[in-house]
Structure formats: C-alpha cells, structure tokens
Amino acid sequence: MSVSMTSIELQVNGGSYWFAVDATDGTATELVNLASGLSIGNTFSSGAVISHARGGYCENFSIQGIRLLDPQGNVAFQFPVVNLEQQNAEGYYAVGVKVGLNYQLSATTSATLA
C-alpha cells in the first residue's frame, strides 16, 4: 500500500490556508490545516467563504479531485487535482463556496490511473 501527498491552498476571508495529508491510496482521507492540524470545518467553525483556490496537488492520482463535503457528506465543491510530476502548478481560480462546522476536505488517491 502506498501513500500520496495531497494538498490545496485556499483563500478564505482574505487569508491563505494550506490543507494537506499523506493519503493512503485507495481510501478516502481527510486533509487538515497545515498550521493548526484542524479539519476545514474546525478551522472555520463559525462559517467562512472560500473565494479562491490553487491546487489541489497530488503526488500520485486522485481521479475525483479533492472534495469539500458538507455536514451530511454531500459534495459541496469538487476541486480538480494536478499531478505535479506531469504538470506545473497553476494560478488561483474562483470558488465562491461557503464552509463551516463539520465540513471536510477529502481525497481518495491512487498510485495509478487504473
């Protein structure tokens, strides 16, 4: 079983936040705030708006991208993923989605595309 470093930079309420995880390939894994170690829901428990994103980035592959899940587990937003071994990082893109308590950033990674 392998792991894939997966990360994303989010612009929220005027600040820049990095979320990342060493995801175990084949399982849904939650990304956490690099500065605090908290989930996105606990980082913005009183509510916030993700205005822009850069990334996500994945060491291997994440076909579904990085998913922002609401408290019921529904996909509120799906961030595309760039494999940095095959493509350079790109600039920011607009998001405009709300986030709050009990939200999660999740990625399911794979060592191959198959």
Closest by Cα among 3, 46, 53, 56 to 26: 3
CA distance 76 to 112: 26
pLDDT at 14 over 70: yes
Integer angstrom CA distances of residue 61 from 70, 71, 73, 84, 91: 23, 26, 22, 10, 20
User: Tokens 């995880």 — which residue?
Assistant: 21
pLDDT digits (tens, 9 = 90+) for 23-73: 777 788 899 999 999 999 999 999 999 999 988 887 777 778 899 999 999
Structure tokens at 85: 């071994």
